[in-house]
Amino acid sequence: MSATRREFLAGAALASGAAAQPAAQRPNVLLLVADQFRFDCLGRHGNQRIRTPNLDRLGAAAADFTSAFVQ
């Protein structure tokens, strides 16, 4: 039995209950995770050497966490 990628994802959405809510009511979440990335590597956080206009724009319109703890 084989399924296309679209069929597989549709089945996964049904199993998780995501299809139960209309798209307008579901939250729109984008989570960016980077390895070896310090808090001050963004122009938005004061770095004058690195230009990150797209990440700065995303951070200006969203939740921007300035403190984090890692191992």
pLDDT digits (tens, 9 = 90+) for 40-62: 788 888 889 989 899 889 888 88
Query: Quick check: is 9 in a domain?
Result: yes
Helices (H), 1-71: 5-16, 53-60
DSSP-derived 3-state class of residue 59: helix
d(CA 37, CA 17): 34
Domain holding 14, by residue range, is: 5-60
Domains: count for the chain: 1
Distance CA 15, CA 28 (A): 19
In a domain, 45, yes or no: yes
Q: Residue 33: which pLDDT band, with cuts at 50, 70 and 90?
A: confident
Whole-structure pTM value: 0.49
> Is 43 in contact with 50 (CB distance < 8 Å)?
yes
In a domain, 65, yes or no: no
